[in-house]
Amino acid sequence: MTNQIVQNFIDGRFTEGSLGRTFEDRAPVDGSLVALVHEAGSDEVDAAVTAARRALAGPWGALAAEDRAKLLHKVADGIDARFDEFLAAEIADTGKPRSIAAHIDIPRGAANFRVFADLVKNIATESFGMATPDGAGAVNYAHRIPKGVIAVICPWNLPLLLMTWKVGPALAAGNTVVVKPSEETPVTATLLGEVMNDAGIPPGVYNVVHGFGPNSAGEHLTRNTGIDAITFTGETVTGAEIMKQAAVGLRDVSFECGGKNPALIFADCDFDEMIEGMARAVFANCGQVCLNTERVYVERSIFDRFVDALKDKAEGFQRGDPMDPATTMGPLISQEHRDKVLSYYGKAVDAGAEVITGGGVPDMPGGYAEGSWIEPTIWTGLDESAAAVREEIFGPCCHVRPFDDEDEAIALANDSPYGLATSIWTSDLSRGNRVAQRVEAGITWVNCWFLRDLRTPFGGSKQSGIGREGGVHSLEFYTELRNICVKL
């Protein structure tokens, strides 16, 4: 693989597409060309699924969990050994600051293999002795088998992290995978193919097909009935489309989808710690983390102080060269996504918002003027029915509204079709715990944000997803339990 040409990775080999066409992968910082990507047609998708099935029936399926685990540790070592290459590729594709990619994206890419390699060696199943009419007795025991060939469909916001979050446990559990990375960020998934080969992962275990969603590699993959289960991270509406495709052949799905995450800030919180946390919760990765907060509810007595302090944080971000340690905010992923976010900036104003800061596009010097930069933005004064308050924007923005008591705060937080993540800020841990149990979210943080132990369940309530991944929950999705009853 070179930096200029990105190919599909099928059965251990890099290959062009039979469609004979490429699409452009452009850098969000300045619009420059990062790579030309070979689009996979249905022939390549079929070939990848066939290779994955062959590997399942062959060398990969024959390995014991301990042996798979050893190989997956080698994959993690391979990512570490090529850390700078992964880092440069992820930054070129996303424009995110080095400080984020070097501390979150790439280390988690390796950790996602290590954690599940270790876990799979220690997973137990149940067994029950039972009486039989003749007095001989019987024992039932369950055993786990891999689900088969897994389609892994990924978004662009944390490309390596979110892809390996699924590939790590899927392979640890003995499955084989066909990955469809986002068309916006195809490079690190492809680079991982080289690491897989170097680590000695048999051909066909890890495959990558490039392209778009509808009528392209994504849909070819999810419609391919050689796929046994689909794991998807992306927008809720895309999840609904994929679910229709999964219905054919009754394939299982695991979905990590969108959010419109609230934060509840009580007057008794540690203000300085809270404002540091909230600056990350709203603006990290330029607001392009599914867990980012876009609805902030603040106890009335500290409302003005909060708005002033968050405004200072928003205005303090440095935009520029992502490799410069001083840069703390990157661009949005693309001009198209910026148009979408700006449309919400417009809708908020039309609906009567007071713009506390931001609301537009910053002046950027030189080539950066061609990038998809945007100002971090804070609004107040909107009705809860406004589009900017109800719909996921996926940009560096939030609406802030005061509340007067706990019940009101909880009702506001829960008034959403989504239920991914919430944060609660209070120095009264009884209250933190009480409120956390009443908010409708797959994950709730008290006095922190995006603190993750990879063994815990991760996923969304309501329209934020289906199922849970993380720790044993991932291994439950990526395996099937079979019961065997032996008469003694």
| Residue of 154, 286, 290, 398 marked active site | 290
Please report how close the Cβ of residue 261 comes to ligand 6OD at its closest, in angstroms: 10
Give the one residue of 20, 133, 214, 365 binding ligand NAD; rule: CB under 6 A: 214
Q: Which tokens sit at 172?
A: 């640890």
Asked if 186 interacts with ligand NAD (CB under 6 A), we say: no
CB 329 within 8 A of CB 376: yes
Give the one residue of 68, 108, 144, 180 binding ligand NAD; rule: CB under 6 A: 180
102-110 contacts, C-beta under 8 A, 24 or more apart: 104/158, 104/161, 105/158, 105/159, 105/160, 105/161, 106/79, 106/160, 108/158, 108/160, 108/161, 108/164, 108/165, 109/79, 109/160, 109/161, 109/164, 109/188, 109/192, 110/76, 110/77, 110/79, 110/80, 110/164
Please report how close the Cβ of residue 123 comes to ligand NAD at its closest, in angstroms: 23
For the four alpha carbons of 182, 210, 467 and 447, in that order, the dihedral sign comes to: negative
| Residue 250, beta-bridge partner list | none
Asked if 155 interacts with ligand NAD (CB under 6 A), we say: yes
Give the binding range for ligand NAD (CB under 6 A) out of 4-12, 150-158, 275-283, 401-409.
150-158
Asked if 291 interacts with ligand 6OD (CB under 6 A), we say: yes
> CB under 5 to 8 A by kind: which of ligand 6OD, ligand NAD, none does 452 bind?
ligand 6OD
286 noted as active-site residue: no
Query: Rounded to an integer, what distance in angstroms lies between the CA atom of residue 27 and that of residue 115?
Result: 32
Asked if 441 interacts with ligand 6OD (CB under 6 A), we say: no
Q: Which tokens sit at 188?
A: 């690190």
In order of 16, 33, 198, 339, the CA distances from 36 in angstroms are: 11, 8, 24, 24
Asked if 253 interacts with ligand 6OD (CB under 6 A), we say: no
Amino acid at 384: E
> CB under 5 to 8 A by kind: which of ligand 6OD, ligand NAD, none does 135 bind?
none
**Residue written as token pair 């797959």:** 442
Asked if 413 interacts with ligand 6OD (CB under 6 A), we say: no
Asked if 95 interacts with ligand NAD (CB under 6 A), we say: no
Phi then psi for residue 441, to 5 deg, are -155, 145
Asked if 275 interacts with ligand 6OD (CB under 6 A), we say: no
315 noted as active-site residue: no
Give the nearer residue to ligand NAD in terms of CB position, either 109 or 465: 465
> CB under 5 to 8 A by kind: which of ligand 6OD, ligand NAD, none does 330 bind?
none
Provide the mask over 153-172, with x wherever binding to ligand 6OD is found by CB under 6 A and - wherever it is not.
Answer: ----xx---x--x-------
Phi then psi for residue 166, to 5 deg, are -105, -40
| Residue 130, beta-bridge partner list | 138
> CB under 5 to 8 A by kind: which of ligand 6OD, ligand NAD, none does 204 bind?
none
Asked if 280 interacts with ligand 6OD (CB under 6 A), we say: no
Asked if 256 interacts with ligand NAD (CB under 6 A), we say: yes
Asked if 258 interacts with ligand NAD (CB under 6 A), we say: yes
Classify strands 33-38 and 22-26 as parallel, antiparallel or unpaired: antiparallel
Asked if 219 interacts with ligand NAD (CB under 6 A), we say: yes
| Residue 36, beta-bridge partner list | 5, 24
Give the one residue of 420, 424, 436, 454 binding ligand NAD; rule: CB under 6 A: 420
Please report how close the Cβ of residue 403 comes to ligand NAD at its closest, in angstroms: 25
> CB under 5 to 8 A by kind: which of ligand NAD, ligand 6OD, none does 241 bind?
ligand NAD
Query: Rounded to an integer, what distance in angstroms lies between the CA atom of residue 463 and that of residue 387?
Result: 17
Please report how close the Cβ of residue 423 comes to ligand 6OD at its closest, in angstroms: 14
Q: Is 286 helix (H, G, I), strand (E, B) or coil?
A: helix
Q: Which tokens sit at 339?
A: 């148009």
Query: Rounded to an integer, what distance in angstroms lies between the CA atom of residue 56 and that of residue 144?
Result: 15
Please report how close the Cβ of residue 455 comes to ligand NAD at its closest, in angstroms: 17
Of 414, 430, 424, nearest to 444 by C-alpha is 424
> CB under 5 to 8 A by kind: which of ligand 6OD, ligand NAD, none does 374 bind?
none
- Using CB under 6 A, list all residues that contact ligand NAD: 153-157, 162, 180, 182-183, 212-214, 218-219, 222, 233-235, 238, 241-242, 256-259, 290, 392, 394, 420, 460, 464-465
Residue numbers at the binding site for ligand 6OD (CB under 6 A): 157-158, 162, 165, 289-291, 452, 458
Catalytic residues: 256, 290
